[in-house]
Amino acid sequence: MVKNSTTAQSIHHNCSLSSGTWSSTPPLSKTRVLAAAAAVLAVVAGDAHAAGYYVGEIGTRSLARGGANIVNPGDPSAIWLNPAAITLSKGVQLQLDVNLVWLNSEFTRDCAGVDNGCAVIDSIDRTYKNPDGTPNAQRAFFVEGGTRAIGSSDGEVEVRPAEPDRLGNRDQPSRFDGKTAIKNEAGVQPIPRLFATFNSDAIGIDGFAVGAYVFAPSAGDYKFSATGPARYTLIDRDLLEVFYGLTAGYRFGDWFAVGGSFQLVSSGLNQNLRLTADTAGNEDEGYDVQVRINGEQHLIPSGNLGLWSNPGKLLGIGNLEVAASVQLPRTVSATGPIRIEQFGDVLQSRFLDGGLASINDDGATATANFVLPPFYRLGLKYGSDDVFGDGKKTVGFDVEAAVVYEAWSTYDHVFLTTKDLTFTVGTGEPSALPPIVQPKDWVDTISLRLGGTVALWDRMLELHTGGFYESSAIPNTTYSVELVDGDKVGLGAGVSGTWNGVRLDVGYSHIFIFDRTVGTESIVTAGNVEIPPPFKADGELRTRVAMGSYKASYDMLNVGLTVAFDDAFNFGVHAPAASALPSVEQPVEQPVEQPVEPAAPAVEPAAPAVEPAPPVVGSAIEAPSLLRLSRL
C-alpha cells in the first residue's frame, strides 16, 4: 500500500514500485532492486553495534576519579570494575546510581577541497572472516571507484555528487556549504544502575562475598535534522544495553582475592535514516527514502574475572594494592523488523505510481551479526586511612594509576542476513536478498588513568579527582556522525559524604574529544537506491557522506547512593551496637584475687555457775576435762 506522496507513507506488505509517467522505462533488473534493498539494510546494520561502545566509567566515584577506580572501589560497583574487590566491601550494601550524559557533537560536511571529491574515487575492497577465523567468501565488500559517468548519452548532463554550494549537475545550492555545522539536537541521556553485595563477614564468616546487579553503560543520545547533510548516515537513534547477573568472590586473608561474574546482556536499537534514489546521485530530497529499523537480542552470555592483592601488607609498607580484571567478549545477533516510512515527493510521483516491481516485507526481519571485544584492566593503588598515625583517622588518602586495553579490532565488520523479505521484478519469480557486509575496521585502544581521594574524619567526607587519556577506536575511513569517538582526555571531580551508614556520592566529568577531519580516505557512502537507465548514468553513483570536520565533547553528572545495612539498620557483625562489644580476639580482664582473711577464733564457752568438784584421780570425770584442754 502506498499513501499519497504529500504524507508519510508506511509500506506494509507487497509494496509496489512503479512508474506511471515513465511507462516506457525499461523494467528494473533484479540486480538493481536487490541493490536497493541491500543499501537499506547495510546502512542500518552499520549502527547495530553502537550500544556496545562506552563513554566514561561505571560509578560516581569512578567518574570523579577519571576512571582510576579499578583496584578496590570500596562499594558494589566493583562488580563491573573488578569482581574480586567485592570481598573488600564489608557487610550488606546496596547502591543506586544515575548518570546524566550530555553529548555535544557537531559536523561540518565538505568534500576535502577536491574536484568531485565526494565521489568514490578509489575502489573499496574488503574481505573478512567468520568470528571463528575461518574464511567466508560471503563476507566481502566491494565498491568500484572512479566510475562516475556522464549523465546523458550526449554528455550535456554531468553526473557528480553534491558538493559545497553546488547540488551536483543541477547547479543548485546544496544542503551543505562546507562552512556551516550541524549539531546534535538530542537532550540528556539518563543511565540508571543498581548493585548489591553481601559479604559473609556480616554473619561472622570471613572471606566470601556475592553480588547481583542490573546496570547500563554510559552512552550519549543522537538526533539530527531529517533534511540535513547527515541524514544519509543518521537521523535519530535510541540505544539499549543492559547487563544483569550474579557475582561471587573469595578472599584469602588480607592479601589475595579472586572473583568473577556471570553476565547476561540485552542489546537493541531503534534507528532512523534516509537513502537516496536521486537519478544523478545528487542528493535531491525529493528522491529520499526514509527507513526505520528496530533490532534487539536478549540473554547474550558474557562475564568478567578479577584478581586483587595487597603485597604492601606482606612487605610491611602499608596498603600497596594491585589488581587486574578482564571483561569477556560477546557475540551479538540482533534481529528486528524492516520498515520503509516515507518516500520523497518526486520519487513517489514519478516512480511509485505503477507496477515495475514489488517488495514483500510482510513479517520481514534482518539479523545483524558482529563481535564485541574483551577489555583488560590493570591498576596499582597506594593509600593510608590514618596519615598522622594517631588512631583517629582524621586524614586519609589514596592514589591509583590504571591502564585499560580494549581489543576493538575484533569489531571489523557487520554481517547481515534477512528473512521473509522478497523482491519481484515484473512477472518474474520472487528473489531473496543475499547477505550484506558493512565494513567497520575498528582498532584496539588504550586508556591511561590517574586519580585519587582525600578522606577526612574517618571518611565522613571524601574529595575525589582524576583524569585520563584514551585513544580512538574508529579510524577515519569509517568514521561518521553515527557514533562519536576520537582521541580524548577527561577530567573529573566529586565529593562523598557518609552518615550512619548512608553514603551520598556526586561526581562530574568533562570529556574533550580532539577535533578530527575526515578526507578522501573515507569509505562511508550513502545507501543509493539504484534507478535504471536512461534516468541514471551507468557506473557507481554512491556518494561519500562522512567527509568533513568533527567536534565533540561529553558532560556527565553522576549521583549515587550507597547504603551499608550493618551501620544504617544495626544489622550484622558490623552494626554499631555489635562493634561496640569486645571482640573474641581481645583479652578479657580477669578479676583480681583478694587475700582471704583468717577466721576469728572460737569463743570459749562460759564457765558453769557452780564450780565442779575436783576430779578424783582415775575417775571417769577426768576424760572430758582432758578433751577440753586439747582444744585449747
Q: Which three three-digit cell numbers place residue 96?
A: 543506586
Contact in structure between 341 and 10 (CB atoms under 8 Å): yes
The band of 590, judged by pLDDT with boundaries at 50, 70 and 90, is low
Q: Could you please report the per-residue DSSP string of 385-420? A: S-TT-SSS--EEEEEEEEEEEE-GGG--EEEEEEES
Judged by average pLDDT, the poorest of 149-153, 242-246, 271-275, 420-424 is 149-153
Mean pLDDT of 355-364: 70
Q: Does a structural domain hold residue 405?
A: yes
Q: What is the pLDDT of residue 559?
A: 98
The band of 284, judged by pLDDT with boundaries at 50, 70 and 90, is confident
Q: Which of the pair, 472 or 146, is modelled with greater confidence?
A: 472
Q: Which three three-digit cell numbers place residue 575?
A: 552494626
CA–CA dist 46, 4 (Å, integer): 31
The band of 75, judged by pLDDT with boundaries at 50, 70 and 90, is very high
Q: What is the pLDDT of residue 537?
A: 55
**pLDDT exceeds 70 at position 51:** no
**DSSP code of 313?**
H
**pLDDT exceeds 90 at position 79:** yes
CATH at 518? 2.40.160.60
**pLDDT exceeds 90 at position 76:** yes
CA–CA dist 486, 315 (Å, integer): 42
Q: What is the pLDDT of residue 615?
A: 45
Contact in structure between 312 and 318 (CB atoms under 8 Å): yes
CB atoms within 10 A of CB 559: 15
Q: Which of the pair, 574 or 619, is modelled with greater confidence?
A: 574
Q: Does a structural domain hold residue 622?
A: no
State phi, psi for 365 to the nearest 5 degrees. -135, 160
Q: What is the pLDDT of residue 289?
A: 84
Q: How far is CA 359 from CA 60, 352, 552, in A?
A: 50, 12, 40
**pLDDT exceeds 50 at position 5:** no
Judged by average pLDDT, the poorest of 20-24, 69-73, 407-411 is 20-24
CA angle 56, 58, 62 (to 5 degrees): 80
- Amino acid identity of 251? R
Tell me what percent of the residues of the chain surpass a pLDDT of 90.
51
What burial class does residue 431 get, using C-beta atoms within 10 Å of its C-beta: 0-12 exposed, 13-18 middle, 19+ buried?
A: middle
Cα 120 to chain center, whole Å? 34
Q: Which of the pair, 77 or 347, is modelled with greater confidence?
A: 77
If residue 172 lies in a helix (H) or strand (E), which one and from where to where?
A: none
Q: How far is CA 590 from CA 536, 587, 593, in A?
A: 103, 9, 9
**pLDDT exceeds 50 at position 59:** yes
Partner residues linked to 563 by β-bridges: 94, 502
Q: Does a structural domain hold residue 244?
A: yes
Mean pLDDT of 393-412: 96
The band of 137, judged by pLDDT with boundaries at 50, 70 and 90, is confident
**pLDDT exceeds 80 at position 498:** yes
Q: Does a structural domain hold residue 594?
A: no
The band of 536, judged by pLDDT with boundaries at 50, 70 and 90, is low
State phi, psi for 149 to the nearest 5 degrees. -100, 170
CA–CA dist 226, 229 (Å, integer): 9
Q: What is the pLDDT of residue 425?
A: 60
Q: Does a structural domain hold residue 135?
A: yes
Q: What is the pLDDT of residue 358?
A: 63
Count of domains forming the chain = 1
Q: Does a structural domain hold residue 309?
A: yes
Describe the chain by its helix, strand, coil percentages, rounded to 5.
15, 45, 45
**pLDDT exceeds 50 at position 9:** no
Mean pLDDT of 222-245: 92
HSE, side-chain direction, 13 A CA sphere, residue 397 = 9
Picking from 234, 97, 224, the residue whose alpha carbon sits closest to that of residue 556 is: 97
CA angle 167, 171, 176 (to 5 degrees): 30
| Domain residue limits at 448 | 28-580
pLDDT averaged over every residue in the chain: 81
pLDDT tens per residue across span 154-197: 656 667 788 888 887 766 788 888 999 999 999 999 999 999 99
Mean pLDDT of 376-396: 94
The band of 346, judged by pLDDT with boundaries at 50, 70 and 90, is confident
**pLDDT exceeds 60 at position 263:** yes
CA–CA dist 3, 12 (Å, integer): 11
**pLDDT exceeds 50 at position 418:** yes
If residue 242 lies in a helix (H) or strand (E), which one and from where to where?
A: strand 236-252
Q: Does a structural domain hold residue 422?
A: yes
Distance between first and last Cα of the chain: 133
Q: Which of the pair, 471 or 351, is modelled with greater confidence?
A: 471
Region of residue 478 (left: phi > 0; alpha: psi -120 to 50; beta: else)? alpha
Q: Does a structural domain hold residue 15?
A: no
Judged by average pLDDT, the poorest of 61-70, 426-435, 525-534 is 525-534
- Three-state DSSP state, 107: strand
Q: Report the greatest alpha carbon distance in the chain.
A: 175
- Amino acid identity of 95? Q
CA–CA dist 357, 36 (Å, integer): 12
Q: Which of the pair, 532 or 7, is modelled with greater confidence?
A: 532
Could you list the beta-strand ranges (E) of 420-478.
Answer: 422-425, 431-432, 436-439, 445-456, 461-470
The band of 363, judged by pLDDT with boundaries at 50, 70 and 90, is confident
